[in-house]
Amino acid sequence: MKKLVLLSLILFILLSGCLDIEPKLSYLDETKSGGTLTLYKLTFGTYLGEAMESAAAQDKPVFVYFRSESCGWCKQFEEETFNNNTAVSKLNQDFVIVSIDVNTQKEETRDFRIRGTPASVFLYPNGTEISRIPGYIDTESFIMRMDEIV
């Protein structure tokens, strides 16, 4: 009986670090700055911490686009949507935009629990999630989603 209690206690201590349910907001690391990525007609920031600061200053929501270079659906979404004048105008005017590469920015990808690309997450300036689009979405549906948010 003592061994069972001791074993239970040891397991509890070992697993207690794995039970952190609230995501850590490591993307707010302010030591990273300055990166940009141009995809067709849009230039994205590449650090979420900067985007969040900019969003708070401008009182705009944030569009976070998770992608990878090897993702075919990402390339299709980018070619269709980031070349569409209406989508480009709305993104530039109404949102602070940031792109996260899931292969190199693994911490941000993990924090947002992204399981595949493309993925889009819309955030309030305080970091609270507004909406999420897992996977590919056509341009018209994407524009309608942006209209709902703004």
* Global confidence as pTM: 0.76
Residue 70 CA neighbour count, 13 Å, CB half: 4
**Domain spans of the chain, in order of start:** 23-149
- Does domain 23-149 fall into CATH 3.40.50.2300? no
Q: What is the pLDDT of residues 4-56, one digit of tens each?
A: 555 555 555 544 444 443 333 333 333 344 588 888 889 999 999 999 999 99
